[in-house]
Structure 1
């Protein structure tokens, strides 16, 4: 039976020669992830299962990234519950203040995911690891608890959408612009419970940071997962980060797809998603003069070193617009160190930005950048729902790091092509 990449991975992990879309299967897990918001619920459910230990202490990880360093007493208690559980269960990969980073940037950096893995996480953006050729998807905290206990999870095998990438990206256009363009084309339910499978010669134009961003936002199109065909760029990344031996799955030539979408990367322009859905994608010929109050450059979508380099190139020697708050958040401690050694932190601070410890904080309206009523933010995060970053009467505009940096300089939503005179 012909299968897609995702179907082949799920078949292998369920001990079967083949699976087809719509089937319910029980699959072995290579990694179970939780954070400081979702893990406490999973820990409470785990305690009801009567298990003395997790299925494999090396295959469970918790990252304190949403409200750490703790913003209030409740956050402190949640992190303490995770800390105590991981100490008691002797969990190898527990990441707290000083070691932690934003989970979906940290795990690939630490080499905890490799091609061919099955990963679940109690966070919707767990689909990020599809950039490495893994099947990874978000689940509820109860599923996380069961996964920690037995190392297995039930899945309904998804059907698939094939996205064929051609051409090459232009300067200051990134994977963020590509995925916003795609979501703008198909809508926030255009890939509902499907696997978004990326292939084509255009892959060569996409860095790993581009791919991680695009896989991360597959959920914003309603997808079960996003996954990239494994190539040399993938394998080089896995090797450089000490990942386990990859197992490469390639879709059969006659695999069945619900839809095939071709995207010419050379035609993609800097793109902004307007409130209040990621599908409200517009290019700059469709954008009027929109003043902003805040810019956030960071998150699990766009807080990687490459993202900071793109922003710094635009901000270097320039000042942020008056009355615009600019917050830069390196996604991990290592990215922070690398950015510091490259002089990027100095560029940001001298431009008038503030640089934060790694945190998800402002993305989910937690802390480190909450919006008041009537305020507008350009942000490199992945969601712009009503009230996502603060007051329900605030507005969030999703963009690439280059577009966010350009907007920080002008004080209005601005294309990087305008600031850099391309």
Structure 2
């Protein structure tokens, strides 16, 4: 039988002609990524193994993003330990001074190519699937061993094929497409599987929106994910890396075996919203009309892109954030922030009354710069809405796209963005 794209990538990195789901392989990752919280433990384990140097310093990427800028001395110490490890091991790809959030930063800085196998000490490493690569989160001990040995064992995952048919309506983004899938398969429906995306609606997504799509596959339990290569992906790859980046493109064979096939018609899809306290507790945004909000958060590792900032600005332009609402906007990288400034987006956000923060994970993980108090309600473009995720245990997070988030900031309650932008009378 043929192979899926995931099977082909694992085979290539294991030096094998073919593999199939369920096999254990020893593969050589192209990138090994650690961030400031998980890095400290990985460094200690690395040294406890007796390792004195990393196998290939060029493959290691260290990113200080969860506690950047550091909110307390302990966080500053974590960043310092990361910088010390980088010096000792001659690691060159070091981003500890606020350059951006890891999953957005890697492709931006040319550290991710189609066909790559990436491991990272963060569950949302699956975001790499947007670039026709495979990314998977692993424990600090796993990545420590991979840094020392240059390889790691993997069980080749089964693949779920997710085909999105129909033309996307207005206001529908990659965020809505992944929420629609999670509503169908639930938070454990893709456990240790690869989710492979294709279809007309997927092809219509730009690269930013594909990141939002792939980022949340782990919320369905997925080990990794993959967007089938198309003209949009090829244009990005050539523009970022040159024609040679196409040498390792892979596609699933026509006779590949999938564990299941989900087909979703998006032609009449409304903007989606995940209601507390689970990412698969999804309803159309219209069902939440009138839900008052205390905070709106636009940002995170896949929804702080230029696309998200442009969407938010299109709603906020000429309008004001409602009294009593904190509207926090976090560009995912410094380069995105700079581009937003050049386009006048920063001025639009600030004039509307939004708070623009540095490129950090921050409040998304309940760490700093926007944590919530008891019983507060938020609309966020982040990826998790479990109890206590962004602060107080009793706070409530609603996950939605940037248009919905910005519209809710203006209205002071959850609304469909069309109600704010078109000026239509709000339904009772």
What TM-score do you get using the length of structure 2 for normalisation? 0.96
CA distance in 2, matches of 1:238, 1:97: 27
Deviation of 1:151 (Å): 1.5
Match of 2:406 in 1: 405
Deviations 1:166-195 (A, max 9, x none): 222222211001111110111111111111
Match of 1:12 in 2: 12
CA distance in 2, matches of 1:353, 1:141: 36
CA distance in 1, matches of 2:411, 2:289: 14
Please tell me whether the aligned partners of residues 110 and 242 of structure 1 are also in contact (alpha carbons under 8 angstroms).
no
Alignment of 1:207-226 (within 5 A): 207-226=206-225
CA distance in 2, matches of 1:285, 1:101: 34
Match of 2:58 in 1: 58
The 1:405/1:288 distance shift into structure 2, 3 A limit, reads closer
Q: Determine helix, strand or coil for the equivalent of 2:115.
A: coil
CA distance in 2, matches of 1:303, 1:84: 29
Match of 1:144 in 2: 143
Match of 1:186 in 2: 185
- Larger displacement relative to structure 2 (159-168 or 328-337): 159-168
CA distance in 1, matches of 2:229, 2:336: 24
Deviation of 1:73 (Å): 1.2
CA distance in 2, matches of 1:57, 1:194: 30
The alignment status of 1:76 with 2:62, answered yes or no, reads: no
Match of 1:310 in 2: 311
Deviation of 1:111 (Å): 1.1
CA distance in 1, matches of 2:356, 2:238: 30
Deviation of 1:280 (Å): 0.7
Deviation of 1:414 (Å): 1.1
Deviation of 1:164 (Å): 1.1
Please tell me whether the aligned partners of residues 217 and 301 of structure 1 are also in contact (alpha carbons under 8 angstroms).
no
- Larger displacement relative to structure 2 (356-365 or 8-17): 8-17
Match of 2:261 in 1: 260
Match of 1:336 in 2: 337
- Structure 1 residue ranges (4+ consecutive) displaced by more than 3 angstroms after TM superposition: none
CA distance in 1, matches of 2:289, 2:164: 30
The alignment status of 1:29 with 2:29, answered yes or no, reads: yes
Please tell me whether the aligned partners of residues 289 and 413 of structure 2 are also in contact (alpha carbons under 8 angstroms).
no
Q: Determine helix, strand or coil for the equivalent of 2:160.
A: strand
Deviations 1:10-32 (A, max 9, x none): 01111111111111111111000
CA distance in 2, matches of 1:31, 1:355: 31
Q: Determine helix, strand or coil for the equivalent of 2:130.
A: helix
CA distance in 2, matches of 1:101, 1:301: 11
* RMSD over aligned Cα atoms: 1.2
Deviation of 1:380 (Å): 0.4
Match of 1:269 in 2: 270
Please tell me whether the aligned partners of residues 167 and 205 of structure 1 are also in contact (alpha carbons under 8 angstroms).
no
Match of 2:102 in 1: 103
Deviation of 1:68 (Å): 1.0
Gaps of 5+ in 1: none
Deviation of 1:74 (Å): 1.0
Deviation of 1:368 (Å): 0.4
- Larger displacement relative to structure 2 (47-56 or 148-157): 47-56
What TM-score do you get using the length of structure 1 for normalisation? 0.98
Please tell me whether the aligned partners of residues 70 and 76 of structure 1 are also in contact (alpha carbons under 8 angstroms).
yes
Match of 1:232 in 2: 231
Deviations 1:35-69 (A, max 9, x none): 00011110001112222211111110011000111
Deviation of 1:88 (Å): 1.4
Q: Determine helix, strand or coil for the equivalent of 2:58.
A: coil
Deviations 1:391-415 (A, max 9, x none): 0000011010010000000000111
Alignment of 1:102-141 (within 5 A): 102-141=101-140
Deviation of 1:78 (Å): 0.7
Gaps of 5+ in 2: none
Please tell me whether the aligned partners of residues 55 and 151 of structure 1 are also in contact (alpha carbons under 8 angstroms).
yes
